[in-house]
Amino acid sequence: MRDSIQITLSVDDLPKHWYNVLADLPEILPEPLNEDGRLERLGDIILQECIKQESSAERLIKIPEEVRELYLRAGRPRPLHRAVGLEKRLKTPARLYYKREDLSPTGSHKVNTALAQVYYAANAGYSRVVTETGAGQWGTAVAYAASLMNLRSTVYWVREAYEWKPERRRLMRLYGAEVLASPSEKTEYGRRLLKGGPDNKGTLGIAISEAAEDSLKNPDTTYVVGSVLNYVLLHQTIIGLEVTKQLEVVDVVPDVMIGCLGGGSNFGGFVLPMVGKVLRGEVKKKIKFLAAQSEAAPNLVKGTYQYDFPDAAQILPRIKGYSLTHEFKMPSIWAEGLRYHMAAPIISYLRDKGLVEAIAYPKDEKAVFEAARMFIQAEGFIPAPESSYAIRAMVDEALKAKATGDERVIVANISGHGFLDLEAYGKVLVI
């Protein structure tokens, strides 16, 4: 038991390849639509190397040695913990494990792809990167990666979250980023929206459009993407590849794997290597892959599997995924990172085929933050509001196991820490 409380990997165990699930899918994933030249224009917005990875058919894609070094500097491999405290509190026969992506320098899994994309940007000769951010975790990861590689960075941050997270704003600026509330005066699209209403609170879709426009207009600049696209999930598979090795160390095949889902990058990165084992017939057990969402943006639960625009201004090509439509009005929640209208094409495909399940929790977030409070008191670590959705789902699955007396193995991904989100805890739990 003692050996399996914290399952660590050595530096030599850090994966040398990312895992590309496209190679194991039974059919080709529906491709983005080329309407009005949008696909050609994409080449002027995002990185060529990433466009190549987006549709690669290779199962294993080499992680450049420089990126592996950056992963080591960021503290990878990360531990997998057995939640012994939580198990005791719940009096569940289930065995609970959680992956520690909260241990990243900036506080979330987002560094895994930020380091890769900014590395490719520097290699391609760009001197500046731009992006959008919702919760602020992605923007911080980009600011951090850009500072390590001496690139300038600009972050368009959904105004609503920009206004209530001054500490994260400072952190991004400490890394040297330019941080703008979106909609902003910097882009044509932002100015147009502000003319219509200066109190526009923004959405992730709007911020994406601003970043894409900025990238299109500035040849020294490229746009780095935080979620949804295949190559972002690819880079994030570093999480699941480590977890797969860690579960082998304790000789365990999970019954349930859980991650929170906004666009799908931490969930995808966490589960896809195991999904691949199932698809290849290497694992015969029926594993429940469960995405935890908010009823404010239940793209996988209530959306339709359809072609839709990833951004509000319709600059990017339409892609196929479960979507609530790009004009859908989503109410505010503290877990801002889960407030996105569309799920990743890969996850959407797997959901359509019945391989992935999803659950959405109420908008008042009380049930979610109560589960997080139990986790904090039992385990000691403070999850990001987004990660708390995965914890809620883990607690619910553990309680189901208790009701049936089932010794299920449940593994959840803690996508980030909540040190800069204590205001959210204070407001929801009234403390």
Ligand X SMILES: Cc1ncc(COP(=O)(O)O)c(C=O)c1O
Q: What is d(CA 272, CA 431) in angstroms, rounded to the nearest whole number?
A: 38
Q: Site mask, ligand X, residues 94-113, x = CB under 6 A?
A: --------------x-----
| Structure-token match 């902003």, residue found | 184
Closest distance of CB 101 from ligand X, Å? 8
Q: What 8-state DSSP symbol labels residue 342?
A: B
Which residue number, 254 or 416, has a Cβ lying nearer to ligand X? Answer: 416
Q: Does 264 bind ligand X (CB under 6 A)?
A: yes
Of residues 192 through 231, those in contact with ligand X by CB under 6 A are: 227
380, exposed or middle or buried, with CB in 10 Å at 0-12, 13-18, 19+?
A: exposed
The verdict on 139 binding ligand X (CB under 6 A) reads no
| Using rule CB under 6 A, residue 260 touches ligand X | yes
Residues 6+ apart with CB under 8 A from 290: 256, 257, 258, 259, 356, 357, 358, 359, 393, 397
DSSP single-letter state for residue 338: G
Does 15 bind ligand X (CB under 6 A)? Our answer is: no
Tell which residue, 94, 131, 112, 378, has the closest CA to residue 233.
112
Instruction: From 19-27, 75-83, 131-139, 309-317, give the range in contact with ligand X by CB under 6 A.
Output: 131-139
From 2-10, 14-22, 260-268, 422-430, span contacting ligand X (CB under 6 A) = 260-268
Number of residues engaging ligand X in binding (CB under 6 A): 21
- 416 touching ligand X, by CB under 6 A: yes
Per the rule left: phi > 0, alpha: psi between -120 and 50, beta: everything else, 252 is beta
DSSP track, 210-231: HHHHHHHH-TTEEE---SSSHH
* Spatial separation of the C-alpha atoms in residues 106 and 108, rounded to whole Å: 6
Q: Counting beta carbons within 10 angstroms of the beta carbon of residue 57, is it exposed (0 to 12), middle (13 to 18) or buried (19 or more)? A: exposed
For the chain, report the end-to-end CA distance as a whole number of angstroms: 36
Which of 134, 310, 321, 345 is close enough to bind ligand X by CB under 6 A? 134
Q: Minimal distance in Å, beta carbon 366 to ligand X? A: 19
| Interface pick for ligand X out of 261, 296, 301, 398 (rule CB under 6 A) | 261
Binding track, positions 349-388, relative to ligand X; x by CB under 6 A: -----------------------------------x-xx-
Q: Which stretch binds ligand X (CB under 6 A): 57-65, 92-100, 175-183, 258-266?
A: 258-266
Q: Which of 119-127, 186-194, 254-262, 296-304 is the region at the interface with ligand X (rule: CB under 6 A)?
A: 254-262
- Positions touching ligand X (CB under 6 A) are 108, 134-135, 137-138, 227, 260-267, 337-338, 384, 386-387, 415-416
